[in-house]
Amino acid sequence: MAIIVQKFGGSSVADAAKVNNVANRVVDTYRAGNSVVVVVSAQGDTTDDLIEKAHEINSSPSKREMDMLLASGEQISIALLAMAIEKIGCPVVSLTGWQAGFLTNSHAGNARIHKVDTERIMAELDQKKIVIVAGFQGLDKYDNITTLGRGGSDTSAVAIAAAIHADKCEIYTDVDGVYTADPRIVKSAKKLDEITYDEMLDLASLGANVLHNHSVEMAKKYGVKLEVKSSFEKIDGTIVKEAVSVEKMLIRGVARDNDVARIAIIGLEDKPGIAFKVFSLLASKNINVDVILQSIGREGKKDISFTVTKNNLNEALELLGAEKNALCYEDISHREDISKVSIVGAGMTNNPGVAAKMFEALYEAGINIHMISTSETKISVLVNVANAEKAVQAIHDKFLI
Amino acid sequence: MAIIVQKFGGSSVADAAKVNNVANRVVDTYRAGNSVVVVVSAQGDTTDDLIEKAHEINSSPSKREMDMLLASGEQISIALLAMAIEKIGCPVVSLTGWQAGFLTNSHAGNARIHKVDTERIMAELDQKKIVIVAGFQGLDKYDNITTLGRGGSDTSAVAIAAAIHADKCEIYTDVDGVYTADPRIVKSAKKLDEITYDEMLDLASLGANVLHNHSVEMAKKYGVKLEVKSSFEKIDGTIVKEAVSVEKMLIRGVARDNDVARIAIIGLEDKPGIAFKVFSLLASKNINVDVILQSIGREGKKDISFTVTKNNLNEALELLGAEKNALCYEDISHREDISKVSIVGAGMTNNPGVAAKMFEALYEAGINIHMISTSETKISVLVNVANAEKAVQAIHDKFLI
């Protein structure tokens, strides 16, 4: 008998029919002789509806009260899923985040899990119950309800799996696994049977949108075996684990991220410490900077370009504008019509031909590259957003067909 | 500085505008220098909507999961009210039932409060915060969320007021106080400035629908001073307390209750123990019997008539029908087109003329009386439902004009 954690997102429990579908999936796993813990998100648009209700009353409510409000969404979905399982006739109990033992820090709206106190979950499993847990939420040390922020239910599922030493953590989504590229763009994209945590992390942070980064990091840290699979079709998904058994492909996948804006600071003084000043200023406001390009100096001046996410663009421009005199630059420009396209794969650094082959693919497709960034496990380029899909297709064809 | 508990029902917080109205009422009390704890119910139709969602999935869900589901309703309203108060600029914190320390028994769907652990509420009041508490809900000793059943938010408010030794517990409703009769029926009905717990209990149980019985019982037990007042108009309401200072009126009010059905058991053997058998049978199924009339025997036979609430009628008839042979009666009949009209007032038993005056009023109005029941503090009569409003008006005119 295995211990299995299953996580279903909001779209998987959006209405009564879908809740019943999930109940059947869960009961199948339970009746096959497994101990089952299920993590669910709030139904469909519930969270957005609650946010709208809040904003009708207060456009900037405290995060503490927002967490109180939003946590009601998962409380509804766990109760409904439990009722659907009761109807099938299996023993079941639903638990809120705090009942399930999720202890977090006090960072309302974006809390981190400190610990999962598994006593209650284990006691319910010992009584042969299916345990339904509210994802995305926990309790801080002052007994305030907290939420985990974006992708929080994935993180809840992995944290439980780690704490109760589950044999597997299944993440059910709209897609049936992790692909070598977005199948909506690249028709020839292939589903991967297995992928390592690091490759998954690169794909996630590059916009593959299958698993939230933080949940993959936690799975890696605690060695939780993940499986990404379809909520609707009963087929094998993609296993995410430490060592991939058969290393067939050098390149694991091609990802695209449109949430990118480029800022160029032109005519900075070419002296030590200038880059430090720029990036420490941005870091002080928690603005994350990605691809960075520094031009070679000309006439005692240099330019620095870098990317931020689109929602950080305005704040970054304001910060830099306010410090124009201190930073001594000539001009600043920005553009949002760009996209980051990346190839991901372990061991790429041992194959210097990979970058050349990628640039060749883009050249053949007539796509201009604005910036390039490389690391141990990925190569990213910035291209015009209009060329992004064509770039993904061209790179995929070059490496993965 | 006083400690004041304020309770607002679901209709008082039904939408954003009403939530803002309540926030202003609360802040006025706070800014007048008081410590304020506010108990709120779920918004408007939220509870009904949640019940419908549940029944789409399972027509008979467990009460445990129903409580989990329904408790989300108050969690939403406390967060929204807190946000409205934040916007005005006062320090505030919302607390669920379990955060506020409501410990109950495990009777899901109809739990009783064992204790209110006031540590958290007092700590928040010490920090000069307005404390918003979810009514209707608590936690059992196994850490399951429970709900208190009908009128539960009134009970929550009184329980907190008792536990923190509040100076007053204000119950805000659609009406602006307790009247000598239902003002929708009797235009000349007068608002009472004060009323005793016992009189309020009689009025509540007789269908005056202002306060739930259990909350008045608890207020009496712990000496909590209640005030029933309007959510919308800023005028004094009716104080409910132990001793009424000036005893002007003998009769406190006239109440009507249409939730009455009469059962008549005809031709029972006229021997000891028969009435005991009938009523212990009904009591074994928790069917509450109200007005009882036993005829004088004729030819060794007697009849017993009594009333039950309408929702208990069918079960009572089935029970009595199944035991026809054991009880040895000839026939059974019932009717539902009746109403109970009562006058309530302390010290009525010392004024034997009261009953006569009441019957005179009904006689003058041409209203036939089916059954009569009297106690220390009330006199009730059963009349045809079609005559009920006329009866209330006639009795009110006789005593209270």
Per CB-CB distance under 8 Å, the chain A contacts of B62 are 82-83, 86
**What pLDDT, on the 0 to 100 scale, is given for residue B297?**
64
Q: Please name the amino acid found at residue A210.
A: V
A371 lies in the same domain as A396: yes
CB within 8 Å: B19 and A57: yes
CATH number at residue A393: 3.30.70.260
Of B62, B68, B86, the CB nearest to A58: B86
User: Contact at 8 Å (CB) between B374 and B381?
Assistant: no
A343 lies in the same domain as A291: no
A369 lies in the same domain as A286: no
**What pLDDT, on the 0 to 100 scale, is given for residue A297?**
64
A18 lies in the same domain as A87: yes
Q: Which residues of B42-71 are buried (b: 16+ CB within 10 A; e: fewer)?
A: bbbebbeebbebbebbbeebbbbbbbbbbb
Task: State the complex-level ipTM.
Answer: 0.77
Of B16, B78, B145, the CB nearest to A57: B16
Range 95-154 of A in CB contact (< 8 A) with B = 96, 99, 120, 143-145
Distance to chain B for A54, nearest Cα, Å: 6
B9 lies in the same domain as B122: yes
**Among residues A117, A147, A173, which one ends one of the domains?**
A173
CB within 8 Å: A68 and B54: no
Return left, alpha or beta for B216; rule: phi > 0 is left, psi -120 to 50 is alpha, else beta.
alpha
Within a domain: A194: no
Per CB-CB distance under 8 Å, the chain A contacts of B72 are 72-73, 75-76, 79
A168 lies in the same domain as A42: yes
Complete edge-to-edge strand list for the sheet that includes strand B338-344: B253-257, B338-344, B378-384, B371-374
**Among residues B289, B312, B335, which one ends one of the domains?**
B335
Of A64, A76, A120, the CB nearest to B72: A76
3-state secondary structure B309-364: CHHHHHHHHHHHHHCHHHHCCCEEEEECCEEEEEEECCCHHHCCHHHHHHHHHHHH
Identify any residues that bridge with A240 across adjacent strands, giving them in sequence order: A195, A226
- The Cα B308–Cα B56 span in angstroms is 32
A294 lies in the same domain as A163: no
Mean pLDDT of chain B: 89
3-state secondary structure of A268: strand
DSSP A36: E
**Burial degree of A145 (CB within 10 A; 0-12, 13-18, 19+):** buried
Range of the domain at A119: 3-173
Whether the model clears a pTM of 0.95, i.e. scores above it, the answer is no
A58 in contact with B at a CB cutoff of 8 Å? yes
Per CB-CB distance under 8 Å, the chain B contacts of A79 are 54, 65-66, 68-69, 72
Distance to chain A for B102, nearest Cα, Å: 14
User: Contact at 8 Å (CB) between A313 and A263?
Assistant: yes
A142 lies in the same domain as A88: yes
Q: What secondary structure does DSSP assign to A342-356, as a single string?
A: EEE-TTGGG-THHHH
Within a domain: A16: yes
Of A53, A62, A80, the CB nearest to B53: A80
CB within 8 Å: A145 and B96: yes
Per CB-CB distance under 8 Å, the chain A contacts of B19 are 57
B58 in contact with A at a CB cutoff of 8 Å? yes
Q: Which residues of A166-200 are buried (b: 16+ CB within 10 A; e: fewer)?
A: bebbbbbbebbbbbbbbeebbeebbbbebbbbbbb
B33 lies in the same domain as B139: yes
**What pLDDT, on the 0 to 100 scale, is given for residue B290?**
81
Alpha helical stretches, state H, B12-114: 16-31, 46-57, 63-88
High-pLDDT (> 90) share of chain B, %: 55
Range 154-193 of A in CB contact (< 8 A) with B = none
Distance to chain A for B61, nearest Cα, Å: 5
- The Cα A52–Cα A47 span in angstroms is 9
Q: What is the largest CA-CA distance in chain A?
A: 79
Closest Cα partner for B347 from B256, B254, B248, B255?
B248
A50 in contact with B at a CB cutoff of 8 Å? yes
Within a domain: A249: no
B95 lies in the same domain as B31: yes
Distance to chain B for A342, nearest Cα, Å: 43
Chain B interface, best mutation among A18, A26, A80, A92, by max B CB count within 10 A: A80
Q: A295-304: long-range contacts at Cβ-Cβ below 8 A with a sequence spacing of 24 or more?
A: A297/A270, A300/A269, A300/A270, A301/A267, A301/A268, A301/A269, A301/A270, A301/A330, A302/A268, A302/A269, A302/A270, A302/A274, A303/A264, A303/A265, A303/A266, A303/A267, A303/A268, A304/A264, A304/A265, A304/A268, A304/A274, A304/A275, A304/A278
Neighbours of B79 (CB within 10 A): 30
Per CB-CB distance under 8 Å, the chain A contacts of B69 are 75-76, 79-80, 83
In degrees and rounded to multiples of 5, residue B399 shows phi and psi of: -100, -35
CB within 8 Å: B82 and A65: yes
Rounded to 10 deg, the angle between the B16-31 and B63-88 helix axes is 60
Side-chain half-sphere CA neighbours of B138 within 13 A: 29
**What pLDDT, on the 0 to 100 scale, is given for residue A351?**
65
- The Cα A68–Cα A266 span in angstroms is 46
Q: What is the mean pLDDT of each run of 10 residues along chain A (401 residues)?
A: 94 95 97 97 93 96 97 98 98 98 94 95 97 97 92 94 96 88 85 88 75 89 93 90 61 88 88 80 83 74 87 92 88 93 76 78 88 79 92 89 71
Per CB-CB distance under 8 Å, the chain A contacts of B145 are 96
Q: Count contacts between A and B (CB, < 8 Å).
A: 110
Residue B26 above 60 pLDDT? yes
Q: Please tell me the least confidently modeled range out of A92-106, A122-136, B70-84, B370-384.
A: B370-384
Of A58, A71, A76, the CB nearest to B69: A76
Nearest CA in chain A to B74: A72
CB within 8 Å: A96 and B145: yes
**What pLDDT, on the 0 to 100 scale, is given for residue A246?**
45
> What pLDDT, in 10s, does the model give residues B296-339?
666 778 888 889 999 889 999 999 999 888 888 989 999 999 99
Per CB-CB distance under 8 Å, the chain A contacts of B16 are 53, 56-57
Q: Please name the amino acid found at residue A253.
A: G
Of A58, A87, A94, the CB nearest to B83: A58
Q: Please give the distance of CA A125 from its chain centroid, rounded to a whole number.
A: 29
How many structural domains compose chain A? 3
User: Contact at 8 Å (CB) between B347 and B324?
Assistant: no
Chain A interface, best mutation among B24, B40, B69, B117, by max A CB count within 10 A: B69
Of A78, A83, A93, the CB nearest to B57: A83
- The Cα B335–Cα A395 span in angstroms is 83
> What pLDDT, in 10s, does the model give residues B212-259?
888 999 999 999 999 999 988 889 999 998 865 444 456 788 989 998
Chain B interface, best mutation among A57, A59, A67, A92, by max B CB count within 10 A: A57
CB within 8 Å: A71 and B75: yes
B4 in contact with A at a CB cutoff of 8 Å? no
Within a domain: B126: yes
Range 65-84 of A in CB contact (< 8 A) with B = 65-66, 68-69, 71-73, 75-76, 78-80, 82-84
Q: What's the token pair of residue A154?
A: 């994935």
Within a domain: B213: no
CB within 8 Å: A84 and B57: yes
Confidence of residue B10 (pLDDT cuts 50, 70, 90): very high
Q: What's the token pair of residue A282?
A: 């941005």
**What pLDDT, on the 0 to 100 scale, is given for residue B246?**
45
3-state percent breakdown (helix, strand, coil) of chain B, nearest 5: 40, 25, 35
Give, in order, the Cα–Cα distances in Å from B282 to each of A96, B286, B301, B312.
Answer: 40, 7, 21, 10
Of A16, A61, A69, the CB nearest to B86: A61
**Among residues A173, A206, A225, which one ends one of the domains?**
A173
Distance to chain A for B59, nearest Cα, Å: 9
Rounded to 10 deg, the angle between the B313-322 and B274-284 helix axes is 130
A283 lies in the same domain as A297: yes
Distance to chain A for B80, nearest Cα, Å: 6
Within a domain: A109: yes
Within a domain: B133: yes
Nearest CA in chain A to B66: A79
CB within 8 Å: B76 and A71: no
Of A16, A69, A143, the CB nearest to B56: A16
Distance to chain A for B96, nearest Cα, Å: 9
B393 lies in the same domain as B329: no
CATH number at residue A17: 3.40.1160.10
Within a domain: A21: yes
